Amino acid sequence: MNNLRPNILSIKKLTFLGFLLAITPLYAQQVKKAEKAAILLRNATLHTVSRGTVSGDLLIRDGLIADIGTNLAIHSGTAVLDCSGKHVYPGFIDGGSKVGLAEIGSISVTNDFSELGDFIPHMKALTAVNPNSVSIPVTRVNGVTTVFAKPEGSTFPGTGALIDLFGYTPDQMSCGSERVVMQFPSTGRRGRWDRRSDEDIKKETEKALKNIDQVYESAIQYARIDSAAKADRQSWTTNNPQMEALLPVIRGQQPLFVEANSYTDITALLDWISNKKIKVVLTGASEGWRVADRIARAGIPVITGPVLSVPRRENDRYDAMYTNAGKMAGAGVKVAIRTDESENTRNLPFNAGFAAAYGMGTDEALRAITLTPAEIFGVQERYGSLDKGKVANLFVATGDPFEMKTRIEKLFIRGWDIPLESRHTLLYDEFLERTPGNQKK
């Protein structure tokens, strides 16, 4: 170990060597930029998700997967990367995260996911996405190329946005899929310290349910007037951005993303929507396994997670959260997995890995962070699998990307060849062999 610690002599040696090899240290000083790729990934194992695992070539051009096949022709200007023994996966999609909206947990002014107010569906997460958030490169180097950046904190905290984790403006990052999110009135206790009586909780929940009913009724009225105004070519002057934001939900153009976690809340949600015409995606669903059959019958897709999370009842099995996704999937529910994290959204593949190990199986778990969320967000034509014509969000790995040992060697987002660098790797490069080492000067 000691010989790893550079002393003055070895530093001198290093400088000398560096001089001889001319450029290595200089390169390290330069900022690596993404490059628009025109590249053929040759002889790879392609985990397409949509069509199983195949061997072959994959061509990236103009930001898209231009072609997939065997022995694809090499055009001029196209680089070739030999991927023999390597594995190519579609970029992972986190169905619920705060990457880009949260920077430093304890410093509230760096967090932009929770605006004041209980009914503010018009608050757009995309507006507050910080393309230069330090967390973004940290997240994507683990193969997570796309996340649903979502607001939270009240009943209708705003509208989340599906974003790719590369770009210099929110518009460049946007995948064009935004979704109104809602927190379903919760009957759960907020912690052991929450000593409200059961009756109080019941009362509060009833009140909150009444509120959302009212919102729903108003939104229907608003949509009706808006349609009537358009049909009659009337000019209807109004300023009601909240209701405006709900229009796509009310008109069935988009599903409402509803967060509900406990058994009681999920069943209450299922009751609530049973007589409504809107489409819904259930998010959270920590106790989805208790109601899996009903969710399946209702045909409601689920985005669940984190999988790496403690059971929510003291009398729960220790693995209740590990097995939840698999149990729901087993009952026929369409399940996507999220981290619900901010700076550690990079753990998405490991969350999927645990779900895979605890009953979901690797293929289904892989789908739960690729094609399934793409479908839930309505972007399955462009995202979620390795198919010709899809956006080139993909990575090359040395093996199964759920395994911690596996290395990700190449990453593409929208066909951009993204340097595999982040604050974490840069600090590693700088400090593994610190110079000067253990000297005063």
* Residue numbers 247-266 binding another protein by CB under 8 A: 261-264
Q: Which of 346, 390, 410, 414 binds another protein (CB under 8 A)?
A: 346
88-101 per-residue burial string, b: 16 or more CB within 10 A, e: under 16: bbbbbbbbbbbbbb
Q: Tell me 49's DSSP state.
A: S
Tell which positions 129-148 bind another protein, by CB under 8 A: 134-135, 142
**Residue among 106 and 169 whose Cβ is closer to another protein:** 106
Structural element, H or E, at residue 66: strand 64-69
**Residue among 194 and 232 whose Cβ is closer to another protein:** 194
The answer to whether residue 340 forms part of the interface with another protein (CB under 8 A) is: no
The answer to whether residue 364 forms part of the interface with another protein (CB under 8 A) is: no
**Residue among 168 and 431 whose Cβ is closer to another protein:** 431
User: How many residues of this chain interact with another protein, rule: CB under 8 A?
Assistant: 80
Q: Which of 122, 124, 189, 279 binds another protein (CB under 8 A)?
A: 189
Say how far apart CA 348 and CA 189 lie, in whole Å. 27
Tell which positions 112-131 bind another protein, by CB under 8 A: 114, 116
Say how far apart CA 358 and CA 328 lie, in whole Å. 12
Q: Which of 309, 331, 382, 409 binds another protein (CB under 8 A)?
A: 309
The answer to whether residue 419 forms part of the interface with another protein (CB under 8 A) is: no
Site string for another protein, 422-441 (x = CB under 8 A): -xxx-xx--xx-x--xx---
The answer to whether residue 210 forms part of the interface with another protein (CB under 8 A) is: no
Say how far apart CA 406 and CA 122 lie, in whole Å. 41
Asked if 286 and 324 count as a contact pair (C-beta separation under 8 A), the reply is yes
Question: Which amino acid belongs to residue 394?
Answer: L
38-70 per-residue burial string, b: 16 or more CB within 10 A, e: under 16: bbbbbbbbbbbbeeeeeebbbbbbebbbbbbee
For the bound state, the minimum distance from the C-beta of residue 239 to another protein, rounded and expressed in Å, comes to 23
**Residue among 254 and 324 whose Cβ is closer to another protein:** 324
For the bound state, the minimum distance from the C-beta of residue 420 to another protein, rounded and expressed in Å, comes to 12
Quote the tokens at residue 303.
């985005």
